[in-house]
Amino acid sequence: METVLSQAEHLPSLLAASRSTSVQSWDTETLSRALNWARYFQQLHGRLCTKPSLRTALIRRLRRGGPLGFGHLKRCPELLGLALLENQALPSAARQRLLRALLFPAAAEREESFPPLLARRKAASQLLSLAPPTTTPPVLSPSLQTQGQLLLARLREQSTAEDTACEDGSFFPATALLQQLPPGPTLYKAAAAALLEPPSDEEEGAARATLLSWLLQGNPARLADFCRLLPASWIASLYSRYPELRAPYLNLLSAWGCQFRFEPLCGEWKVHGQEGDGVTWQEMRERVSCLLSHAPEPLARAVETHLWDWRAQDGDFEVRGLSVWTDLLLAGSGHGPSSPAFCFT
C-alpha cells in the first residue's frame, strides 16, 4: 500500500512539470516515460474504485501536493497531453512524438469503445482551437496541424468502415460525417490544415480528395464561407496546390467584385448587397495580392489576365472609381496583361 501511495505522489510534480519550462530538456524517451506514468495513474484509478480505504488514503496523499483529487488520476493522460501541447517550450521532436501518441494510441487505448475515443479526440481538437492561431500561414501552428491530422484520421477511419460494410450496402459515408460537423471557422481551419499538408500515403491522399469534394460539391455557400472566413494567403496556397479550386475561387472573386459600389462622398468602394455575403475592399485587395504574389508565375499571370478581362467587360476605364477591376489594377504596378505580376502596398 505504501508503494502505491508513494507512486501517486509523483502526479502533482508530473502535471506541474508539463506546464513549466523544464520540458525544454525533454527528448522523446523522456516524453514516453511521462506518457507511461500518465497511463499508469489512469489504470490506478480503475483499480482503486473498489477499494474505499486505499482510495481515501490516496486522496489525502494527493492533497499534500496541491488541489488534486481522485478524478485527476483518471484524466491524467488528457491533462498531461493538453498541457504539453500548449507549452511552447516543448522541443519539436517531443511534440511530434506526442502528436503521434494522440492520433495513434497504443493497443491498450485502442480497446476503448469508439464513442468515447471519438469524443476524446473531438474534445482535444476543440481545446486546441483555443490556442492563438498562427499569423504567418501557410506555416501552420502545431495546434492547427493537430486539428487537420485529427480530421484526416477520422476520415480514414470512416473510409475503412465503408470498405468493411460495403457487402450489405449499409455504410455511413465520409462525406456524411463532414455534413454532421458544425460549420464555421474551426472546421474550415481544420480542413485547410488537412489540405495544406502534403499527403504521406495513399490513404491520406484519398481522405484529402474526400475533403476537397465536400468543399466543391453540394451547397455553394460552403465554399464561399470557407474562402471568406480563412486568411487570404491560405486560400492562395490552396489555389496553387489544387487545380479544382482555381475556377471556383476566381468565380467567387468575380461575384464579390460585382457587389462593390463606389461612394464618391467618402472616396471608397463599399459592399452593396446582403451584409456578410462578401468581403470588404481591403480584403478584396489582399486576396488578389496574395494570388499574384503566392501563386507560381503561370498561375499569377492567368489571374492578372482575368482582372484585365473583367476590366474590359466593365468598359475598360482607366479612371478610379468607375470599375472595381480598374482600381485593383491601378493599386498595383501592372500596365497590361503582359506586364509582370504585382503586389499591393
> In the predicted model, what is the mean pLDDT of the chain?
76
In the chain, where are the structural domains located?
A: 1-111, 113-163+171-230, 241-345
What type of residue sits at position 341?
A: A
Distance of alpha carbon 79 from alpha carbon 41, whole angstroms = 12
For 147-173, what is each residue's pLDDT tens digit?
888 888 888 777 665 444 444 444 456
Q: Return per-residue pLDDT of the chain as tens, 345 residues.
A: 666 666 777 777 888 888 888 898 999 899 999 998 888 888 887 777 777 777 777 777 666 655 566 777 788 888 888 888 878 888 888 888 887 777 666 555 544 444 445 444 544 444 444 443 333 446 677 778 888 888 888 887 776 654 444 444 444 566 777 877 777 888 899 999 989 876 666 667 788 888 888 898 878 888 999 999 999 999 999 999 899 999 999 999 999 999 999 888 878 888 876 555 788 999 999 999 888 887 887 888 888 899 999 999 988 888 888 899 988 887 754 444 433 333 332
188 contact partners, CB below 8 Å, separation of at least 6: 225, 226, 229, 230
CB 194 within 8 A of CB 151: yes
3-state secondary structure of 277: coil
Q: H-type helices in 65-141, by residue range?
A: 71-74, 76-86, 92-103, 107-110, 114-128
Closest CA to 63 of 52, 72, 75: 72
**Cβ-based burial of 59 (10 A; exposed 0-12, middle 13-18, buried ≥19):** middle
CB 174 within 8 A of CB 210: yes
Q: Which of 323, 293, 320 is nearest to 310 (CA)?
A: 323
All three cell numbers of 130, joined, read 483555443
Helix axis angle, 142-165 to 202-216, nearest 10°: 100
- Residue 281 near residue 260, CB atoms below 8 Å: yes
Enumerate long-range contacts of 58-65, CB under 8 Å, 24 or more apart: 58/4, 58/5, 58/8, 61/5, 61/8, 61/9, 62/8, 62/9, 62/11, 62/12, 64/9, 65/9, 65/11, 65/12, 65/13
Q: What's the CATH fold of domain 241-345?
A: 1.25.40
- 8-33 burial by CB neighbour count: b if 16+ within 10 A, else e? beebbebbebbbeeebeebeeeebee
